[in-house]
Chain A
Amino acid sequence: MLNIQKFFGSFFQKRTALFLVAPAIGVWPLFASRVLSIAAALLLGGIVFALCGYDAARLASDVVSASFGNVFGLEDLGLIWSPMILTGLAAAVALRIGLWNIGGEGQFYAGAMAAAWVGLHVQAPGGVALLLMALAGFVAGAAWILVPALARAWLAVDEIITTLLLNFVAVLLVTYVCTGPMRDPANAVTAASAHIPYEIPPLLDELHWGFAVSVVLVACVALLFGRTVWGYEVRVAGANRHAAAYAGMRVRRRIMEVFLLSGGLAGLAGMLEVAGTVHRLEAGISNNFGYLGIMVAALAGASPLAVLPASLLLAVLLNAGIVLQSYGVSKYAVLALTGLVLLGAAVGERLAYYRLAPTLAKLR
């Protein structure tokens, strides 16, 4: 019997014969493509900067020395690294079940707001108060994603748009709270709450224990997904929802659990930022951490452990934004650069599947 697919396949090979698409690739080609494409995107960004009349090489060395040059730089890097570990982990957790949580920014704000409220209104010994704040942050973040999660699980409503739109609502809400109900009456200049009396103890000089907590949470989530039945079910549901349902897995319930965990982690990031770094609620407290978290997860390919290096890369890029400002370039230019890195990663991932035609023929 004539195999139609093979027949047309051979026809196609005769026509092009230069590149073919491999059906599947291993982890290492994927990793190599990721590294190469990120390097290519950064190089392209550097070329654009050079064409605009800036000294790209000096800029790069400035960024590296500002980030890794001394202890202060490293600690500052750690301070912007740790929230991105958690927001990145939040997005990566959702990607595990094949869904996007684009609302990390909103959940971050919700968590920060709830934690600040608890910190200002609860009288308790330091440790207990911090635990309560963390709990409030986690619950608020999870609550912020509840409606999109329900809509996704039961009505198949696109979660990308619903989670994203809640970001704008959260920003408006926190701005309102900072200028209204929670505003510090002693401070007339900035839109911010009063100083919160409970602080996360420092790990080093400036870097607080929130960093260690973030790294430990990455390990916990990696174990949860890699070593438990629950994590296995989530992965199967992410790969093929119908197959998972057919095998008796409760897909909707897993979607809810994963989304609530995801929102909670982003909310916890907001709590750590309030209690460890900023010590009060501010209108612009998030610094785009939620949005950058999506990129972290995309670069990490939904793997919890890969979140660590991916978020480090973006933390360095965020530092580059601060260096750029000293050059008189808008800090937003670095957002354009991160977008370029993401585009490069997406294209590189696909290019990794392409093989020169003769190679694939040999494999067959």
Chain B
Amino acid sequence: MIELLTGMVATALLAGGVLLLGALGEVIAERAGVFNLGVEGLMAIGGITGIIAVAHGAPALFGMLCAMLTGAAFGCVFAASVVLLRANQTLCGLALTVSGGGLAAAVGQSYSGHPAAAVFASVHIPILSALPLFGRAVFSQNPIVYVIWIVLPLALHALLFRTRWGISLRAVGEDPAAADASGVHVLRVQFAAVVAGAALAGAAGGFLTLGYITSWSDGITGGRGWIVIALVIFGGFKPLNIALGALLFGLITALGFVGQARDWPVPPAFLSMLPYLATIACMIVTPFLVRRKRSRFLAPAALGVPYFPEQR
């Protein structure tokens, strides 16, 4: 039983880490009022970029950096469309998902099915990994895992809720006209937030192919980009809550794997459905939570609404 649980936690940190990285990116964009539905496409692009980079001899960390930069580049295209030109965010997000997934699959044709040339190696932290129960599962991961689970959520929380920069960003997402009047350059903040978010989505793809699954195949993202968007809503647009939610989703994914490995009397297809069904269940539960806690978990007021300075 203990073995089962520790195995689950080890997988959950990897599977949930991919979701958390993407969700932290998405929350930056959504806090600035831009709804980026293209996470799935950005993750696919990041994933194949990472695979190609390591195939050309780069170390895994550099591969993930390349994934991040490619994500940012595609984020620039998206931001130019929805922030500068104010095109429909839903349409552009869907376009990014479709074209990103198609592009990644087309480029990645010759890399499909091969293991990644370099992956993140796991590091045993001396004393901590010898701790009983979860010591081995939690402290023998690759170092990026700690960055994703500890450094990034805390840093983003501090950035959003404890700095001047964060209050500008949130003001833009709540009431861009008021932010504009108080001297915040709305479009510049939104552009930066979208690009930063896209960079993290690309990095999530790189982590998926170099740190978690460690190979490339068509449709490897498998809806993770959409679960990420649900996770942001489920986590009430707060980085720390999102981290807890990502852990929950990671554990649910791991539960499916454990079931397959242990030959539970459920067909594997149904175990693979778990993350999707759990996400839908969470989305249906969230409104009840929001109603109880009033406005603290609500979406930014101007989320998805393009801002026209001249119509202020």
A→B interface (CB under 8 Å): 5, 8-9, 12, 20-21, 100, 102, 147-148, 151, 155-158, 160-162, 164-169, 172-173, 175-176, 180, 291, 294-295, 298, 329-330, 332-340, 342-343, 345-347, 349-351
B158: A residues at CB distance < 8 A? none
**Cα–Cα, bound, A195→B233 (Å):** 45
Out of B98, B226, B229, B284, name the residue touching A291 (CB < 8 Å).
Answer: B98
Supposing A12-B309, A169-B273, A175-B269 touch, asked if A339 and B102 sit within 8 A by C-beta, the answer is: yes
Closest to B311 in A: A21
A21: B residues at CB distance < 8 A? 308, 310-311
Query: Would you list which residues of chain B between 241 and 284 have a CB under 8 Å from chain A?
Result: 267, 269-270, 272-273, 276-277, 279-280, 283-284
Q: Does B91 contact A (CB under 8 A)?
A: yes
B87: A residues at CB distance < 8 A? 343, 346-347, 349-350
Supposing A164-B226, A168-B276 touch, asked if A349 and B88 sit within 8 A by C-beta, the answer is: yes
Q: Does B286 contact A (CB under 8 A)?
A: yes
Chain A interface: which of B63-71, B103-111, B161-169, B207-215?
A: B103-111
CB pair A335 B99 closer than 8 Å: yes
CB pair B95 A343 closer than 8 Å: yes
Supposing A158-B283, A349-B87 touch, asked if A166 and B276 sit within 8 A by C-beta, the answer is: yes
Out of A8, A12, A298, name the residue touching B91 (CB < 8 Å).
Answer: A298
Out of B86, B109, B223, B310, name the residue touching A12 (CB < 8 Å).
Answer: B310
CB pair A339 B284 closer than 8 Å: no
A51 to chain B, nearest CB (A): 14
A314 to chain B, nearest CB (A): 11
Out of B95, B308, B310, name the residue touching A339 (CB < 8 Å).
Answer: B95
A175: B residues at CB distance < 8 A? 269
B284: A residues at CB distance < 8 A? 147, 151, 155, 157, 162
CB pair B95 A147 closer than 8 Å: no
A161: B residues at CB distance < 8 A? 226, 229-230, 233, 279, 283
**Cα–Cα, bound, A335→B107 (Å):** 12
CB pair A330 B269 closer than 8 Å: no
Looking at chain A's contact residues, is the secondary structure mostly helix, strand, loop, or mixed?
A: helix
**Cα–Cα, bound, A5→B310 (Å):** 9
Out of B85, B230, B309, name the residue touching A350 (CB < 8 Å).
Answer: B85
**Cα–Cα, bound, A172→B272 (Å):** 8
Query: Would you list which residues of chain B between 279 and 312 have a CB under 8 Å from chain A?
Result: 279-280, 283-284, 286-287, 308-312
Out of B103, B287, B309, name the residue touching A336 (CB < 8 Å).
Answer: B103
B286: A residues at CB distance < 8 A? 157
Closest to B102 in A: A335
B→A interface (CB under 8 Å): 37, 41, 77, 81, 85-88, 90-92, 94-103, 105-106, 109, 218, 222-223, 226-227, 229-230, 233, 267, 269-270, 272-273, 276-277, 279-280, 283-284, 286-287, 308-312
B97: A residues at CB distance < 8 A? 339
Top 8 A-B residue pairs of the complex, sorted by shortest distance between their CB atoms: A339-B99, A335-B102, A332-B105, A336-B102, A176-B269, A339-B98, A346-B91, A343-B95
Out of A100, A148, A155, A167, name the residue touching B287 (CB < 8 Å).
Answer: A155
B234 to chain A, nearest CB (A): 10
CB pair A346 B273 closer than 8 Å: no
B159 to chain A, nearest CB (A): 26
**Cα–Cα, bound, A295→B267 (Å):** 34
Supposing A157-B287, A335-B99 touch, asked if A166 and B105 sit within 8 A by C-beta, the answer is: no
CB pair A343 B81 closer than 8 Å: yes
**Cα–Cα, bound, A291→B102 (Å):** 12
CB pair B88 A346 closer than 8 Å: yes
**Cα–Cα, bound, A295→B96 (Å):** 12
CB pair B88 A343 closer than 8 Å: no
**Cα–Cα, bound, A20→B308 (Å):** 10
**Cα–Cα, bound, A336→B287 (Å):** 35
A339: B residues at CB distance < 8 A? 41, 94-100, 102-103
CB pair B94 A342 closer than 8 Å: yes
B52 to chain A, nearest CB (A): 15
Supposing A164-B226, A168-B222, A168-B273 touch, asked if A347 and B106 sit within 8 A by C-beta, the answer is: no
